Structure 1
C-alpha cells in the first residue's frame, strides 16, 4: 500500500547488503576485516597529535567494531539458519573480547587523555566533539584503565566471564521444564506438549481460563533450577567484583553514571515514593489475600473485557497491518515531515522472504536511513518485540552521511487466505512503540556514531517509544487509519474510548509489579555479597513491594532475561514512562499533529542521540526542570484508583 522509490546503492548481495554475509562463513571474514581496521585505527590514534581528529579516529574505531557486533547481535537470535546464528554468536564474542581489551589499553587511552588534559584544546572543540571525547574516556574509566596491569587483565577476564554468564542465563531462561505426566490430572494434559511419559511446560499460560492450568504452569515453569540459580549468582558476583575492582561501591553505582537517575539512591527514592503512592491508592494488603500470582494477569484481562466489551476480535478487523503502517506514515508526515517508502531488497539482503525494507525520507533532507521490518512469526524466532541498531549514522570522512540501518522485530500472525494480517489493539500499540525507537534512530543525526540515535542513556532511550503509545491510544490519531478491512467503516469513537478506559483497570497493580521488578533489580546489583540467596531476596521483596504471596519452590527471577540486558537499569521503563507522560500532557494532548511541537520534539529530544545530557533534553522539551515529585505524579496520576472493584469482581 506504499509508494515505491528506487534509491541508488552500491551494496552488493549479502545480509543488509554486506558483501561477505552471503554465507555463514562470511562472518569470519567480516570480523577479520573489522579487527584489521581496528588495528590500523589504534595505531593511527596513538600517533596522531591531540585535537578533534583524535575524536574522529576513536569514532571510526567504534564504528569498525559496531558494524560487525551490532549486526551479529541481531543475526544470532533472529536468523532462521542455525549456521548463521552460530557464526554470528562467535563474531559477537570475538568483537566483544576486543572491545574489552581496547578499553584497558593504556597507550590508546593516553592518546585521548592528552586531548582531555589540554584545557585550551578542549575549549576549542564544539560541544558534541567535547562530549564524545568525555564519553570515550568514561568507557576507559569504568573498565579500570587506572589499575595496574595485573588488575586490568583481571577486569578483562571478568568482562568476558560476564558475557558467557549472560549468554548462558538467557539461553536457559527460555528452556521448558519437564514433569512426569502422571503428576497432573489427565483432563489438562492437552494444554501442554507431551513427550512420552513427560509433559513440557514452556510458559505461564497466563491467559488460560482454567485455574488449574495456570497454577500448574506457574509452579512448574518457575520451579527453581539449581544450574540457572548458580549462573545468576555467579553473574551478579562477577558484576560486583568488576565494579569494586574499578572503584565503584556497587555494580549499580557503576551502571547508573551518565543516566538521568545518576545514582542508586536517586533511583530508590523515586521507586520508594512511587511504591508508597501506589500502595496507598490500592490499599493493597486488604485485598491481595484473594488472589494468587497466576490469577492477576488472567482476571485483570477478563475484567477489562467484561467491563468495557473490548474483545480483541471486535477490534482486529479495523487494525490491518497495512492500515496501521499508513497511520504511522500519516503521523510522521504531519509531525516530523518524514515518510516511509517500501523498497525492494536485493536477493540475499534479507534473512526471510517476508521481511520488508522501508526507506525513511524527509520532505527537505531526503533519505534518512532504512528500517527492515521483520514482523511475522516463524520457527526459531524469539517471541519478543524489539528494535535493533544494525548500523549507526555518522558523518564520514568524505563529507557524506552514513545512513542508519535498524530492524524492527515483532511476532505478528501471517495473513489468512481471506484477510490481511490483522492486529489486536495490543499488537498495534507494540508496533507504534517499536517504531518510536526506529524514528529515534533515523532522526538522531549526530556527527559521531558513538552517540547516534538510541545510543543514549537507557532511561532516556525508552521515552520516544513510550510516547508513541500515547499517540496509538488517541482517537484523533486512530481515526486517521483504523478502517474495517472489508467495509472501510471507521472504528467508532466509543470503541476507542472503551479501549483507553480499559487500560486503567488494574493499572496500579501492573505498575506496582514494575516497581517490584525495578527494586529487586537494584537489590541484586547493590551491596554484595548477598546475605541470602536470590530466591530468598525475591520472596521478601515481593511481599514488601507487590503484595501477592510468594509461591514456595518457585524462582521467577531465573526467567527474567532483563536482568542481563537491563542489569541495574530496569527502573528505566518507569523513568521513561514518567517523562513520556509529561511530554504528552504538556506538548501533544491538545493537538497530536502539532507540527511546531513535532519540530521542537526533534530539535530538543530526538535529534541529539547521546551527544547531550539526557536531563537537559527533557528540560529543553518541557521548558522546565522536573522534580522527583513531578516524576512520581506523572506515573500515578493516570491510574485508576478504584482498585477494590477488581477484587470484588474477580471473586
Structure 2
C-alpha cells in the first residue's frame, strides 16, 4: 500500500453497523414513508404543464441519495451479520423494499409528471447526466405498462407480469432445492482421484471429467435432464415475455431488454455473437486436434476403439489429461506465493499507482473517533472487518474519496460467494456538499492454518483483484447522483474484466507475490505455466460458451406469437449447440435433438439476464481491447491509469459508456485484440 498517508481526519464519519432487528424494521419503514410522502407532495404541487426535471425527478434523486447509506446498510446485514435475527430482519427489509419499488413503478400520477417533464426536456437546458436519468425513469414506467390504456389491455399486462414473476420464482426454487445426483459403480469411475471419493460421505459427487467414456456420457445426459420439471414453466415464461413486449410496441422481448444497454438492438448482439463464432472455428479445430491426440493414445493404451471424434463428454477428461502432462501447475504450490494479507496490500498499491490513490488502514482509535457513538465496535458488523480510508494522492489533490471495508474470511451465516457491495453512495447532497462513497469487499477466502498463513490460489488472486476493481469504480465515481454511477448491464463487468488481465502479467504477478516463508517473488517459469493453462483450449471453450447467449437471443426474438408458444426450447437449444460447437454431441450417436434440456440447468434467464447472457462475452472482448491496446506495454502506467479513472470510472453511467470507451481507446471497440491475444491455440 501507499505509505504516503495523509495525517488529517476523514471529513465524513463512519456509518454504524450495530442495528437490532427492531431498528432495521423501523428504519426501513421510515425510509419508505419519507419517499412516499415526497411523491405525494410532488404530485400535489405540480401539474404536467409545470413539470420539469428540477421539480419532479431531482427531489426524488436527492432524497434517495440522502437515505441510501442507511437503506443499503440495512440490506447489508443479511449477507454479513453473524446474528440470525438481524439477518432475517435485513432480508425481510430487502423484500419489502422490492415490493415498494414495484408499487412506486406503477404510480400513474407520478408517471404523468415524468412523461410531461420528458416532453419538454430540450427546453430545460439539462446536462447529459440529468437527461439520461430522466430518460431512464420514463422508460421504467413505460416498461411497467403505464402507456397502455386503462382497461382490459393494461389488466392483461399486469396479469402477465405477475405470472412471469410467479413462474420464475417457482423455477428458481426447483433449481435451488434440487437434490438430483448421478450414481455410478466404482469400477466405472476410471480416472477418479482417490481424494474425490470420501468413504464417510458416499454421496460426494464427481465431475464430468472423470470415469469411463460411457459413464461420462451417461453423466452428461443426466446432468442435462435434472431440471426437466421446469420445461413447461420456461416455455410459458418466454411466450409471456413475447406477448408483453408486443403489447408495449416492441417486436420481441430482446428489443425491449436491450434498448437501454450498450448494444441497443438485438441485431447488434446477433452480429457480435456470430462474428465470434466465425473467429473461433480455426482455433477450435486446432484445439480438438490436440485433444484427439490424447484420446487416441488413451484408447490405444486401454485397448479401446477410437472413432476419431471428440464428444461433449470427452472435453474435460482429455483437457485435464493434457494439462497434467504438459503444464503440471500445482495450485497449492502457487498459493505459497500469495499470502492474503500482503497480497491484498500489494493489490492496493497497484491501484494506488494506477489511479493516484492512498489507502490508510484505520486503527481502533481511528474507528472510535469516526464512530457516531464513539465506540469502534459500533461501525463494524464483525470484529474481523478492516476499514481503510481512501484519499487522492498529493499529485491528484489529496482529496478524500471514501471508505473501503475488507471482510475476507468465511463464517456461519455469511454470504457464500465473493462480491463487492456499495454501502454508501458518492454523490452531491442538496446543500452542494459531497457525500463520500463506502464499499465493501466481501470474500470467503481460506483461513490460515496452524502451520501456514491464509493463502490465495491464483484463481483467488484473479477474483479478489476483479472485485477490488468494482470497489475502485465506486470510490472513484464522481457523478452528481448515486443512480448515475450504475453502468448498463452489458457494461458493468467491463472495467473489472479488464483488470483480470493484470493477474496474468508476469510483471504484475512479480509485484503482487511474496512467498510466505522466503519473501521471494513467483518464478518466471511458474508464471509461464500459468499462462499456458489460460490459453489451453481457450478457443474451443469460448466457442462452447457462445451457445447460451445465442439461445438466449433466439428464444427472446421469436418472429411471431405462434412461434413463441410452439417452438420446443429444448430442441432449439440442442440444435444451436450442434450448429455452433464443433464437438460431437448426442445427436451423432443417434439420440436426435431431443436428448436433454441444458437450458433449464442454469438460472440466468430467470433472474434478470434474459436477453442479457451475451454480456459475459461482450465484456471479455471489450476488456481485452482495452488492456492490450492501452495497458499491455506498461500495466502500471500512471498516465494511462489516470485516463482510465477520468474517462471511465469517474463518469460511471452518467454518460454513454460506449462513447466513453471510444474516447478512451481513440476509436471504436473491436474484437481484434481479443482474437489475437486470447484465442490462442497451444
Q: Which bracket does the TM-score occupy, shorter chain normalised?
A: 0.7 to 0.9
Matched, 1:598 2:600: no
- SS of 1:283's partner is helix
| Distance verdict in 2 for CA 1:565–1:372, change over 3 Å | farther
The residue aligned with 1:131 is 132
1:559 to 589, 592, 601: 601
User: Structure 2: how far apart are the matches of 1:164 and 1:72?
Assistant: 26
Deviations 1:427-463 (A, max 9, x none): 11111111111111221221011111xx111222111
Match of 1:342 among 351, 361, 368: 361
1:198-220 deviation digits (Å, cap 9, x = unpaired) = x756x663566787886666454
**Paired residue for 2:623?**
580
Cα distance per residue 1:126-175 (max 9 Å; x no partner): 22222222222222222222112344455455445544544444443344
8 Å CA contact 1:194, 1:200 repeated in 2: no
User: Does 2:466 match 1:427?
Assistant: no
- CA distance in 1 between counterparts of 2:428 and 2:263 reads 30
Q: Aligned pairs, how many?
A: 626
Does the C-alpha gap of structure 1 residues 580 and 303 become closer, same or farther in structure 2, counting only changes over 3 Å?
Answer: same
**Alignment map for 1:1-150 (pairs within 5 Å):** 7=10, 10=13, 13-14=16-17, 21-23=19-21, 25-46=22-43, 47-48=45-46, 49=50, 50-60=52-62, 62-63=64-65, 75-76=77-78, 82-118=84-120, 121-122=123-124, 124-150=125-151
User: In the alignment, which residue of structure 2 is the partner of 1:307?
Assistant: 326
- Whole-angstrom distance in 2 between the partners of 1:66 and 1:152: 32
Higher mean C-alpha displacement, 187-196 vs 240-249: 187-196
Aligned residue number for residue 392 of structure 2? 362
> How far apart are 1:602 and its partner, in Å?
1.3
CA spacing shift, 1:426–1:301, aligned 2, 3 Å: farther
Tell me which residue corresponds to 1:225.
227
Q: Which moved more, 1:539-548 or 1:87-96?
A: 87-96
Distance 1:239 1:536 in 2: 20
Report what 1:401 is aligned to: 434
Partner of 1:460, secondary structure, is coil
> Cα gap change, 1:93/1:12 in structure 2, threshold over 3 Å: closer, same or farther?
closer
Distance in 2 separating the partners of 1:329 and 1:93: 35
Any residues of structure 2 matched to 1:505-520 within 5 Å, and which?
A: 505-520=536-551
Check the 8 A contact 1:68/1:91 in 2, yes or no.
no
What is the match of residue 579 of structure 2? 544
**SS of structure 1 residue aligned to 2:112:** helix
Q: Which residue of 1 aligns with 2:499?
A: 468
Change over 3 Å in CA distance of 1:506–1:69 after alignment to 2: farther
Greater shift in the superposed pair: 42-51 or 395-404: 42-51
Cα 1:180–1:144 shift into 2, 3 Å: closer
Change beyond 3 A, Cα 1:382–1:446: same
Alignment of 1:475-554 (within 5 A): 475-527=506-558, 529-550=564-585, 554=596
Provide the C-alpha distance between the structure 2 equivalents of 1:2 and 1:209, rounded to a whole number of angstroms: 51
1:329 lines up with 2:362 in the alignment: no
- Alpha-carbon spacing, 1:616–1:173, altered in 2? closer, same or farther (3 Å): same
Structure 1 residues 192 and 533: CA distance shift in structure 2, 3 A: farther
Greater alpha carbon shift after TM alignment, 69-78 vs 363-372:
69-78
More off after superposition, 516-525 vs 336-345:
336-345
Q: Which residue of 2 aligns with 1:646?
A: none
Q: Describe the shift of the 1:125–1:43 C-alpha distance in structure 2 as closer, same or farther (beyond 3 A).
A: same
Q: CA deviation at 1:86?
A: 4.1
Change (3 A) 1:90 1:537: farther
Looking at structure 2, the residues matched to 577 and 180 of structure 1 have their Cα atoms a distance apart, in angstroms, of 33
Structure 2 residues without counterparts, runs of 5 or longer: 293-307, 368-375
2-structure distance, mates of 1:72, 1:604: 32
Shift of 1:492: 1.7
Displacement, 1:8? 6.7
Give the structure-1-normalised TM-score.
0.86
Moved more, 263-272 or 491-500: 491-500
Q: Distance in 2 between matches of 1:437 and 1:598?
A: 15
- Please give the alpha-carbon distance, in whole angstroms, between the structure 2 residues aligned to 1:573 and 1:259: 13
Give, in whole Å, the separation in 2 of the partners of 1:387 and 1:533: 39
CA distance in 2, matches of 1:125, 1:26: 39
Query: Under a length normalisation based on structure 2, what TM-score does the superposition of the two structures give?
Result: 0.82
CA distance in 2, matches of 1:422, 1:60: 43
Structure 1 gaps of 5+ residues are 16-20, 644-651
Per mean C-alpha deviation after superposition, the further-off stretch among 147-156 and 501-510 is 147-156
CA contact (8 A) 2:255 2:266 kept: yes
The CA distance in 1 between the partners of 2:403 and 2:320, in whole Å, is 37
In 2, are the aligned partners of 1:504 and 1:638 still within 8 Å (CA)? no
CA contact (8 A) 1:143 1:246 kept: no
Distance 1:285 1:416 in 2: 40
Larger displacement relative to structure 2 (407-416 or 331-340): 407-416
Which structure has the larger Rg?
Answer: 2
Q: Secondary structure at 1:357's aligned position in 2?
A: strand
Is the 2:53–2:134 Cα contact (8 Å) retained in structure 1?
no
Q: C-alpha separation between the residues in 2 aligned to 1:415 and 1:207?
A: 30
